[in-house]
Amino acid sequence: MRAAWPIVSLLALVSAIALILPGVSAGLSGAVVAALINLILVVGLYVFVGNSGVLSFGHVTFMAVGAYVCAILTIPTIARAIMIPNVPSFVPKTAIATIPAILAGALLAGVLGVIVGVPIVRLTGLSAGLAMFAVLLAANVVFSNWSPGPGGAGILTRVPTDLTVAGTLMWALLAMILAYLFQRSRWGLRLRGSRDDEHAARSLGVNVTAQRLQAMVLSAFITGIGGALYGHYVGSFGPDAFYIPTTFLVLAMLVVGGIDSLAGAVVGTLVISVISYALNQWTNDLPVGPITLKLPAGSSQLVVALLMLGILIVRPAGLMRGRETALPRLLAGAPRSKTRSGPVRAR
Amino acid sequence: MTQVLQDTIDAASLGSLYALFALGVALIFGVGRIANFANGDLLTIAGYLVVVCATLPWPVVILVACAGPVVLGLAMERFAFRPVRIASPTTLLIVSFAVSALLQNGLLLTATDQPKTTSFGSSLVQPVHLGSVTTTGIDLLDIGVTVVVAVVLTLVLKRSLIGLKLRAAAEDFLMSRLLGVRANTVMATVFAISAALAGLAGIMLTIKIGTLTPTFGVQPVTVAFVAAVIGGLGSLLGAALGGFLVGALTVVIQSVLPQGLGPYRDAFVFGAVIVLLLVRPQGLMAPATGERI
Amino acid sequence: MLTVTGLSVRYGPIKAVRDVTFTCGTGETIAIVGPNGAGKSSILNAIAGALRSGVSGEVRLESQRVSGLTPERTVKAGIALVPEGRRILSSLTVSENLRLAMGNRSRHDRAGSRRDLDEMLSRFPVLARLAARHAGTLSGGEQQQLAIARAMLSRPRVLLLDEPSLGLAPVVVNEVFNALSQLRAREISIVLVEQMALRAIAFADRGFLLRHGQIEATTGVGDGEQLIAAYFNAEVGQADVGTS
């Protein structure tokens, strides 16, 4: 029970919010789906960053791959000749169902994770993160110059917008479960153990490079799912959706909640999604409940940036301080004795 | 032969521009252990200042376009980085990304994402013929400015007291402080120098390219990071060499790419760098043997 | 006169130093001895301002409060630290290491600076010989002398020495302690942390034994044996006796 509590509590929390809010107001369904997609992206990033301690600034590339692949596979058959005439010939002429397409997108994102990961995980932490940023840039160049259809550089339209709250929730729960299983598995634990002292870990036989690659691939897969869903949420997108603003938003959500725990990923997504939603509504002169504010365009990003800076100054470990949700006292049973920490006794 | 010479000058000029900017980024990293994404935005802001002031006499333009980034650089050191100075490297990195996002958003709000053009320095974009080789004034200026800056920087670092303090801080910040070196002074100095270099690079790149968007500085700062990684993080010389290498690589790749793949040049360049890192993850300057614990 | 009152140092949940109080008079040398992990280095680091957080208690130099100051300000106030492992700036030359320590003196005091430097070089002639060499190429003993000379050039009233004998051959340790005894004549307070308990206690005027972050025994002037007895009674056969 104790081991399962962190994940069960998170699954319950997310499910409750996702299912209750649309009941409160139908208009919130879209916002809930968007938040769930954000959650998947953040969890995807977390699987790599939280376990390896390496900040990757290029994960949105995997989102892009997931999005483009899934979209290309699911653009309705009747529209395919017009919408995507320039895709390679091995792409099927008929659209496939959404769920397999999402998986295909995620799978290909995972493959990219391997390709990119192999050179990058051999670098030291900071270099790896910066190299991932170069990957992001390169991907943006590629997508910005490739014209799959008449929409212009890297733009795809007519992607079916067939997401439901329940369906997206399923994917989000899956992402969280995968993340939790990984971090509790021996691969995840070894990776975490190597975070603080790579040399010590290597001397104990931990193959840090291999562990990081595993995390990278899983992380890419999950992020790919998020990207695929994103495509089906917006219906049309371009390469700008997978560049710096999105990278920043996803990172902000993870950082605000706390990099080191899954609960951090969830809490951060929740907090920023709510704030972002409110700010976006107000920027568009729409009310949030009974409140209406006048805000200039772009306020949302600015506020999120300031919020992130604030958290980093005041509480760098994030809202959850790197901890998972703790079992409430009542359910925990008899209190365990506090582990005594004191100076190392020289013997 | 002429083509080789031509390509060499092109590579040298682009490499110089990258190296100049990479020096600033490497300086902040070497001393403060901060990989400053926001440097790219300082470069962009220098460009926008050029656009705004283009009608003024050129010395004023240069002054303003360098002073603006310096002021911003000092402000970001004081208000964004100083409060987290004792934080982990991860936090520092995220702060730098957040500051960068703030600056880009600020630019987006004030200047919108419509590209701005300027003809400042257009005389420098005219072809210049040196024997059988054609280049432009700005390309030669790139090389010249970078050489001068490199020499000046080296002299300052090796001969002056502040240079001594910077070198000491780069090796062991705490120990330097225990010897009386003021951390605030050192950090403000490196941010100012680095911002000035970003300003210079921004001016020259704006002259060269002529069109600006808020994400103008993203590619140069990525190159600077990559150059620093190739050169071995923390080594100024390595970063400069890395910048030259990426510049040379860019020119070479540009010339061998078939017509249709031209726009993908940068993707190929970064791809090539990643392959290079596959072969030698520790970079160029670091010894091939393992790292000392 | 250095006054330390109720000094405590925490590293996260771990209390390394618990409520330590002592004084060191002008020109006095005190020794802090104790086993590994006792908190000796933490005390010196805390006094020097090298610890970013987790320090509570008060440190005063004469009447001026120096606790809570940044390292730069602490040096300016007159407290210099020769850290454990010496922490020589190896990418700089020997003379650059020394110049750095004088970096905050005003330009008008050139003559004074020159004088101080010459004095240090005459006290540590090996440094004069090696002035142009990169500090990283020096031997352990030479580095230790450089570290001490460097600290002295910030004109301290209190010199904190953290395990100066660490990693040095016995002969070299002699040289180091000789150099230290020359400094004693100058009205500088010296706080010496040492693993070589006998050596330190013989050298110092007073001392105390630190264990698990707390003072367990102290000596008055010239009464080192009592301290040694206390040290060894609890650590039978395991302490570094420091025969030399």
Q: How does DSSP classify residue B45?
A: H
Confidence of residue A342 (pLDDT cuts 50, 70, 90): very low
Give the E-state strand segments of chain B in sequence order.
116-117, 127-130, 133-136, 211-212
CB A267 within 8 A of CB A257: yes
Cross-chain Cβ contact C96/B164 below 8 Å = yes
The more confidently predicted of residues A192 and A217 is: A217
Exposure on the CB side of residue B12, measured as CA atoms within 13 A: 17
B278 to chain A, any CB pair closer than 8 A? The answer is yes
Confidence at residue C244, expressed as pLDDT on a 0 to 100 scale: 38
pLDDT of residue C224: 65
CB B140 within 8 A of CB B16: no
Residue of C nearest to B162 (CA): C103
Is there a contact between A51 and A189 (Cβ–Cβ < 8 Å)?
no
- pLDDT exceeds 50 at position A68: yes
- Count Cα atoms within 13 angstroms, Cβ side, for B240: 16
Candidates A232, A242, A254; CA nearest to A60 is A242
Within an 8 Å CB–CB cutoff, is residue B183 touching chain C?
yes
Contacts of residue B281 in chain A, CB cutoff 8 Å? 119, 122-124, 127
Q: Does B50 touch chain A (CB under 8 A)?
A: no
Instruction: Give C31-77 pLDDT, tens digit per residue.
Output: 998 888 778 999 999 999 998 888 999 999 988 999 889 999 999 99
Asked whether C203 and C183 are in contact (CB, 8 A), the reply is no
Is the CB of residue A117 less than 8 Å from the CB of residue A56?
Answer: no
pTM across the whole model:
0.87
CB A227 within 8 A of CB A66: yes
Between B279 and A224, the more confident residue is A224
Q: Delimit the domains of chain B by residue range.
A: 17-215
Hunting for tokens 């970096």 — which residue is that? Answer: C103
pLDDT value, residue B164? 94
Using CA atoms, how far apart are residues C48 and C50, in angstroms rounded to an integer? 5
Confidence of residue C94 (pLDDT cuts 50, 70, 90): very high
pLDDT at residue A267 greater than cutoff 90:
yes
The percent of residues above 90 in pLDDT, for chain C, comes to 34
| Strand partners for C33 | C194, C209
pLDDT given for residue B237 in this prediction:
87
Rounded mean pLDDT of C17-35? 89
**pLDDT of residue C238 exceeding 60:** no
**Model confidence band, residue A329 (pLDDT cutoffs 50, 70, 90):** low
Tokens representing A16 are 């409750």
Give contacts of C 172-231 with A, CB under 8 A. 212-213
User: Which chains does chain A touch, 3 or more C-beta pairs < 8 A?
Assistant: B, C
Name the more confident of A330 and A196. Answer: A196
Inter-axis angle of helices A60-74 and A28-52, nearest 10: 130
Residue C220: per-residue pLDDT: 64
- Contacting residues of B for A56, CB less than 8 Å apart: none
A346 chain-C contacts, CB cut-off 8 A: 35-38, 235, 238
In angstroms, the separation between the Cα of residue A85 and the nearest Cα of chain B is 18
Distance (Å, whole) CA B274 – CA C48: 45
> CA torsion angle for A326, C13, B172, B150 (degrees, to 10)?
20
Q: Considering only CA atoms, which of B10, B245, B249 is closest in space to residue B139?
A: B10
Each residue's pLDDT tens digit, A278-298: 888 888 878 777 777 777 777
CA distances to B121, B238, C232 from A123, in Å: 41, 17, 49
B83 touches chain A (CB under 8 A): yes
pLDDT at position B135 is 83
B168 vs C50, C100, C154: nearest CB: C100
Contact (CB<8Å) B89/A134: no
Query: Considering only A72-86, B142-156, C18-32, which range has the smallest mean pLDDT?
Result: A72-86
DSSP B79: I
Q: Considering only the beta carbons, identify the residue of C13, C14, C35 that sits closest to A346.
A: C35
Look at phi and psi of residue C163 and say left if phi exceeds 0, alpha if psi is from -120 to 50, else beta.
left
User: B73 and B34 in contact (C-beta within 8 Å)?
Assistant: no
A344 touches chain C (CB under 8 A): yes
* pLDDT surpasses 90 at A315: no
Name the residue with tokens 């941010």. B191
Contacts with B167 from chain C: Cβ below 8 Å? 89, 91-92
| Of A167, A170, A182, residue with least CA distance to A262 | A182
Long-range CB pairs of A8-12 (<8 Å, 24+ gap) are A9/A325, A10/A176, A10/A180, A10/A262, A10/A263, A10/A266, A10/A325, A11/A173, A11/A176, A11/A177
Q: What is the pLDDT of residues A154-167, one digit of tens each?
A: 888 888 888 888 88
Report the distance separating Cα A72 and Cα A84, nearest Å.
7
The nearest alpha carbon in chain B to C82 belongs to B178
Kindly give, in sequence order, each residue whose CB lies less than 8 Å from that of residue C162, ignoring residues fewer than 6 positions away: C40, C41, C44, C45, C81, C82, C83, C84, C193
Indicate if the pLDDT at residue C196 is higher than 90.
no
> What is the rounded distance in angstroms from the CA atom of residue C183 to the CA atom of residue B285?
43
Interface size A-B, in CB pairs within 8 Å, comes to: 123
- State residue B133's pLDDT score: 80
* A301: nearest Cα among C150, B105, C117: B105
Find how far residue A27's CA is from the centre of its chain.
24
CA distance C8 to chain A (A): 13
Chain B contact probe: residue of C11, C47, C72, C159 with most B CBs at under 10 A: C72
* Backbone angles phi and psi of B32, in degrees to 5: -100, -5
Question: Token pair 């003072």 is at which residue?
Answer: C215
Looking at residue A338, its pLDDT comes to 43
**How far is residue A213 from each of residues A113, A115, A150, A185, B200, measured CA to CA in Å?**
8, 10, 37, 15, 40
Confirm or reject contact between C150 and chain B (CB < 8 A).
yes
Q: Closest Cα to residue B19, out of B212, B200, B216? A: B200
Question: Are residues B164 and C150, on separate chains, in Cβ contact within 8 Å?
Answer: no
Q: What is the pLDDT of residue A331?
A: 56
| CA distances, A239 to each of A32, A162, B214, C90 (Å) | 24, 21, 16, 48
Average of per-residue pLDDT across A198-205: 70
3-class secondary structure, C60: strand
Distance, CA of B139 to CA of A155 (rounded, Å): 35
C53 near A CB under 8 A: no
Cβ of C92 within 8 Å of Cβ of B165? The answer is no
Count of CB contacts below 8 A, A vs C?
A: 22
Tokens representing A152?
A: 């212009």
Q: Are C120 and C152 in contact (CB under 8 A)?
A: yes
pLDDT in 10s for each residue of chain B, 293 residues = 777 888 888 899 999 999 999 999 999 998 988 989 999 999 999 999 999 998 899 899 999 999 999 999 999 999 999 988 877 888 888 999 999 999 998 888 888 888 888 888 888 888 888 777 888 888 889 999 999 999 999 999 999 999 999 999 999 999 999 999 999 999 999 999 999 999 999 999 999 888 999 989 999 999 998 888 888 777 888 889 999 999 999 998 988 888 878 888 889 998 888 888 878 777 766 554 343 33
> What type of residue is A33?
V
Q: Are C71 and B178 in contact (CB under 8 A)?
A: yes
Report in angstroms the alpha-carbon separations of B59 from B54, B91, B118, B142: 11, 39, 16, 17
> Residue C46 contacts by C-beta under 8 Å, 6 or more apart in sequence?
C7, C9, C17, C55, C57, C59, C67
User: Is the pLDDT at A346 greater than 80, yes or no?
Assistant: no
CB–CB contact C15 A344 (8 Å):
no
Q: What is the mean pLDDT of chain B?
A: 88
With a cut of 50, say whether residue A347 has pLDDT above it: no
Structure confidence at residue A316 as a pLDDT band (50, 70, 90): confident
Structure tokens at C184: 């004693």
Other Cβ atoms within 10 Å of B257 Cβ, number: 14
With CA atoms as reference, the chain C residue closest to B85 would be C52
Residue C242's pLDDT is 45
pLDDT over threshold 90, residue A175: yes
pLDDT tens figures, A186-198: 888 888 877 767 6
